[in-house]
Amino acid sequence: MRKRKVVVTGMGLVSCLGNDPDIFYQKLLQGESGISVLPEEVCRDVYAKVGGVVTDFNLEEVIDRKRARRVDRFIAFAIWAGKKAVFSAGLPLEGSGIDRARAGVILGSGVGGMTTLFDNSKVLLERGGRKVSPFLIPHILTDTGGALLAEEFGFMGPNYSMSTACATSTYSIISAAKHITSGEADIMVCGGSEAPLSPIGVAGFCAMKALSGYIENPSIASRPFDKNRDGFVMSEGGAALVLESEEFALQRGATILAEYIGGAVSCDAYHMTEPRPDGWGVALCIEKALKEAGITPEQISYINTHATSTILGDVAELRALERVFMRPQNIAINATKSMTGHALGAAGGLEAIATIQAIRTGLIHPTINLTDPEEVVFDMPTEKKKVDIEYALSNSFGFGGHNATIILAPYG
């Protein structure tokens, strides 16, 4: 049986650089940072003071006011991104013959409803258990956003959440694609969301010494691949793609944005929070993705790196890339997080959209804040650059050693 082709037909996002994929990408091309000073109540008594905050966001544009006011912020981001992706794909189409039993949702989160849990913990301690919200449990679960989206559209196909830390969105995309290639689904909404900018979230990552302490100028705090980097800058947001089988997309006359060629996952099996220094686990993941895609390393034109701006992580990723790619000088790479910061479980979705936009426009965005770069043998532009993309690769890695790689290409 011939493997079904998977195509991308819709995109939706919420980010510190805007809540529309085209605006988001124009800001990336311009090298605009979305990092700002955090509210005092979020970062009191900790060393990290900057982050990527979502602004101009009104969930009531897409769901009713009562639900919009109740849900945790990470759920709000998931619903917004998912609904915008579905609408941008021209779905749902009443009377079009869409079988909703063959339409599914996989939207994940790394930490889930952290703010809801934090707020209700305070209520429990200060006012007692009877005052805890009845929405506490559903609003901390990572699967709630996808469940609500399925309820909204009547999508009765595969529906579950992923939670693989900062690789969550990319794991979700890979899993969604498998439901299509296997023939189980025609349409899948996939991605992730995160809202970690709460006092407990910021304090927790500060306790690990994972965050940047640079505060003089927020816009240059996130410095992937720069020798002066001192940790990642945490941000919030959500991103979703609509994947379809090529046959189904063509049948309904959908606009195809890109083709999903393949993807793979692996585990470093090394340390809870540190990457393997030699990059072996990441290299394994990339090699598996290339094999599934049926292409060679030489066919990759562009890589959107995970590149969080941590001391160990950036170098480990570069070592992995050098293991796999024999002619790295022919490949352009960049780091979206230099402008967006690190949105944890949403990061892979945001970067998948950046990769698709690069394919659509033929332009890759710069990596900013490179004043003293690590020795990089790849082409890493500091201004937007035109690149003839044959195949593009996007990496995501998470605590626990979770690695995920997807490969995308122009359609046709």
H-type alpha helices, 208-276: 246-251
Set 139, 179, 342, 365: catalytic member:
342
Number of Cβ within a 10 Å radius of residue 330: 12
- Active-site residue, 43 included: no
The Cα 338–Cα 257 span in angstroms is 25
| Total count of residues recorded for the chain | 412
Set 190, 206, 285, 306: catalytic member:
306
145, two tokens: 């956003």
Number of Cβ within a 10 Å radius of residue 26: 16
The Cα 91–Cα 327 span in angstroms is 42
C-alpha closest to that of 277 among 237, 225, 318, 308: 318
- Active-site residue, 342 included: yes
**Cα end-to-end span (Å), the chain:** 22
The Cα 292–Cα 394 span in angstroms is 15
Set 166, 190, 206, 285: catalytic member:
166
Question: What is the pairing mode between strands 258-267 and 402-409?
Answer: antiparallel
The Cα 328–Cα 39 span in angstroms is 42
The Cα 183–Cα 309 span in angstroms is 39
Element (H, E) at 288: helix 280-293
- At residue 375, the 3 state secondary structure works out as coil
- Active-site residue, 365 included: no
Where b means 16+ CB within 10 Å and e means fewer, 44-64 reads eebebbbbbbbeebebeebbe
- What is the DSSP code (8-state) at residue 66? H
65 φ, ψ (degrees, to nearest 5): -60, -40
Please state, in angstroms and as integers, the Cα–Cα distance from residue 374 to each residue in 229, 283, 370, following that order.
10, 19, 9
User: Can you count the helices (H) and strands (E) in the chain?
Assistant: 14, 14
Query: Which residues are catalytic, by number?
Result: 166, 306, 342
